[in-house]
A and B are shown apart, each in its own frame.
Chain A
C-alpha cells in the first residue's frame, strides 16, 4: 500500500471539494471559468462556514449579488437584497459617462426617478459632491435600501423620497436641470417568452422589470417638462421605446440614441438646444 503525506492528502481533498463546488456552480455560470471565478469571489467575501450554503443557493439560480449582499457600481459597493433590482453593468457604464461630462459644471440639480438601490444618484453624488441630487421610487423596499446605501457610503448630497412617476403632481412644483431614470422596460411578452433570464424571473421584483411606453410618456410629461429640465437620460430595452420618447419632444430639443458596450440600444437622451446640458451631446 502506498502511503501519502498528510499535507498531500489535505491538498487533494481541498482540490476535490473545490471541484465539487465548481460543478455545482456550472449550470448557473455556464462556463467552467466563470464557475471558478464565482467560487473565488464567494470564498473571498464570505466566511468559510457560509461557503457551502452560498453555493447551494447559487446553484438554485439565486443571484450572486443577493448571496454576497452587494454589487460593485463604479467606485461604490451597492448593497443588494431581494425585492430590489440589482444594478446592471450597462447602467454603471452610462452613469460613469454622464459623471465625466458633468465634472466641469459647478451647480446642477439632478433628479433620478425609479431609483431602486439608489445606485445612479449615489455614484453621481459621490463623484460630484458639489451637486444636489434627489431620487424617487414607488417601492418602500427600494427606499429603505437606498437610504441604507446612502448611510453606508456617507453621502450627504442625495435625498431619497417616495414618488410615483404616474402621479401628475409628483414634483410639487420643484425644478431640476437633469432627469435620469432606469424605469422597468421589459415587455409582458419578453417577460414570458424566454427573453428574460430564469434567475431574473425567479428572484428580482416584477415591479422593477416590467413596463413599456407608458413609463417614457410619464417620464417626459410628468417629470421632464414640468421640472423645466434641460437634459434627460433614460435607460431602455428596445428601439421602439427610444423612438417613442423622441417623438414626445418638440424641436427645442435634440435627442439621441445611446448604444452600450455590447453594442445594444440602451438609452435615449436629449438636451434643450443652447442649454448647458449640451455637454451630453458626445457622450
Chain B
C-alpha cells in the first residue's frame, strides 16, 4: 500500500502529468512540496464559507433536515482537513525562511523532514475531498454481465466474473441477490446475469467495473493448447429504489402509457380455462426503447417488480452518461474517456496477471482477485487515478 501512496505524490506537478498516470513501482519520492493549485484552494475557501453559512443558519434555528446533515458532515470534514493543511503550509513556509539563518538551519531541516510527509499527505487528502462526489455515490448497485467475443469460453469467463463479484460482496459482508441468471446450453457459462448488491454506496466502488473485461488463457474447451482471448461486458447501474418500499413503487414512478408491459399471451380464453406456469414479463420503455425481460421467478408479480427496478436503473444510468457527455462537450479541454467498447482490464491467467488499462496498474495474483479478496487493490488504484484526472479537469476549468 505504501508504495502506491508515494507514487501518487509525484503526480501533482502539472508538467509531469503527461507521464503514465500511475505506476506501481514508481520510485520518485517527493523531496519538495508542491502547493495545491489556486483553483483548488479557491474551492476550499468557498466550502469554508458554505460551512460558516450553514452553521449560521443553524444558530438562527433554521430547519435542519437529513440532506443538510449530510452536507454539514461532508463540509466540516473537508474544512477540517483544509485548516490542518493551511496550518502546516504556514509552518512549512516559516521553516523555509529559517533555513536562510545559519544558526537555525539544522533544526529547521529536521523540522521540515517531519512536516513534509504530513503536508504531502494532507494535500492529497484534501484534493480528493474537494472533488464533488459522484451523483450516485451513495446508491446500491446492479451489475449486468454478458459474454462478448469468444463463444463458450466467453460465457465461462462471464460466469467466473459473476462469481468474482459475489465473492467480493461476501468478502465485504455486503448483502446481495441474484436477480436473474440464464445459463448456456451446456450449463457451464452465462448468457446474461444480473446481480443486485444491496449495500448503499456499493455503486461508488463498483462503478469502475463498467466496460469490457478481457481474458487470455488456454480455454478448458481447447484441445490443442492454444491461447485464446475472449471478452465479457459488465454494466454497473445505480439502484434507484428504496429497500423498504412497497412492491409496485418502481412501477408507480412511470406515467401511464410510458412503459408497455407484455406478459404471456395464450391464444385461448385465459383465466380459469388455463393454468400456466409461464411468468415471464417484458417491459418496453417507450421514450428510450429500453427493454427488460424477467422470467426466473415463479411469481409474475415478482418478475414484474424486478424488471421495473432494473428499468429504473438503466434509465438513470443512461441519463447520467448523457449528461456527462453534454458537460464534456461544453469544455475545451477534451479529456479522453473510455468508450464502452474499449477493453478496461485484462485477466491473463498464464502470467497470473491482471492489468487495468485505464490506470496501467498490474497485479500478480489472479486467484486472489477472482476470490474477491484483491479486487479492492484495483479499485483503489482506479479511485486514485480518477482523483488525479478530475482534479486536473477542475484546475483547467477554473484557471
Contacts and interface: CB of A to CB of B under 8 A. Distances in A.
A263 B264 CA distance: 11
Interface of B: 186-188, 247-248, 261, 263-266, 268-279, 295-302
Majority DSSP secondary structure for residues of B touching A: loop
Contacts, number: 100
A18 to B, nearest CB: 7
Given A38-B277, A64-B277, A72-B297, A197 B268 contact: yes
Interface in A186-233: 186, 190, 195-197, 199-200, 204, 208-209
Contact of A262 (B270, B298, B299): B270
A184 interface: yes
Nearest to A85: B272
Given A15-B186, A85-B272, A237-B273, A262 B266 contact: yes
Contacts of A186: 272-273
B270 A90 contact: yes
B261 A261 contact: yes
B273 A197 contact: yes
10 contacts: A71-B298, A74-B301, A88-B272, A96-B248, A190-B273, A195-B269, A196-B273, A262-B266, A264-B270, A266-B270
B248 A100 contact: yes
A250 B184 CA distance: 59
Contacts of A38: 277
A75 interface: yes
B300 A88 contact: no
5 closest pairs, A vs B, by CB? A72-B299, A197-B274, A261-B263, A262-B265, A89-B300
Contacts of B247: 74-75, 96
A63 B271 contact: no
Contacts of B265: 262-263
A209 B272 contact: yes
A266 B274 CA distance: 13
A34 B248 contact: no
Contacts of A73: 299
Contacts of A34: 277-278
B271 A237 contact: yes
A200 B275 contact: yes
Contacts of A37: 277, 295-296
B271 A185 contact: yes
Given A34-B278, A74-B247, A92-B301, A200 B273 contact: yes
Contacts of B275: 63, 65, 86, 88, 197, 199-200, 204
A126 to B, nearest CB: 12
B272 to A, nearest CB: 5
A238 interface: yes
A235 interface: yes
Contacts of A200: 272-275
A235 B188 CA distance: 45
A184 to B, nearest CB: 7
Given A15-B187, A89-B279, A204-B275, 11 more contacts: A14-B187, A37-B295, A63-B275, A90-B271, A186-B272, A199-B275, A208-B272, A237-B272, A262-B265, A264-B271, A266-B271
A244 interface: no
A140 B109 CA distance: 95
A100 B274 CA distance: 27
Interface string A164-201: 00000000000000000010111000100001110110
B225 to A, nearest CB: 16
A253 interface: no
Nearest to B297: A72
Interface in A258-283: 260-264, 266
A237 to B, nearest CB: 5
A41 interface: yes
A238 B263 contact: no
Interface string A68-102: 00011111000000000110111011001000100
Contacts of B270: 88, 90, 260, 262, 264, 266
